[in-house]
Amino acid sequence: MSKILARRGRWSAYKLVLMQAAVAGGTSVFFFALWGVQYGLSALAGGAIAVLPNFVFATLAFSHTGASSSAKVVKDFYWGEAVKLLLTIAMFSFVFINWKVGFMPLFVCYTLVLIVHWTAPLFFKQS
């Protein structure tokens, strides 16, 4: 039973990450079409900085569930959040050091992807 709950929670988290990836892709195409390649790639980088750490968190956080493994569940959530934060910092550092990016499209796309995460309860109604 706990494997089914873990799979269900992981699938819900993956649906959210998929929505975030769709918003990041759409925003990147928008910036590419209006302002060119550099802005499109900058927006794509901002979206990737938001989406990839969330995917890693979803994978780590929903690896265990159930009352018998409640300590593992809490540990996995803390571990997943720590890895997500460190990966986000590393990705921002990598992008700023190695690429010429437009700050506006990068942060606009990053913010839009985070807004998808905050508004997720409106899209995913649990029965």
Which residue has 């606009």 as its token pair? 108
Q: What is the pLDDT of residues 39-81, one digit of tens each?
A: 999 999 999 999 999 999 988 887 766 556 677 778 888 898 9
Q: What is the mean pLDDT of the chain?
A: 87
pTM, 2 dp: 0.84
Q: For the chain, how are helix, strand and coil distributed in percent, rounded to 5?
A: 85, 0, 15
Q: Residue 87 — very low, low, confident or very high, per pLDDT cuts 50/70/90?
A: very high
Backbone angles phi, psi at 109, to 5 degrees: -65, -40
- pLDDT above 70: percentage of residues in the chain: 86
Task: Show the CA angle centred on residue 15, arms to residues 20 and 66, nearest 5°.
Answer: 130
Q: What is the pLDDT of residue 73?
A: 78
CA atoms within a 13 Å half-sphere pointing along the CA-CB vector of 32: 12
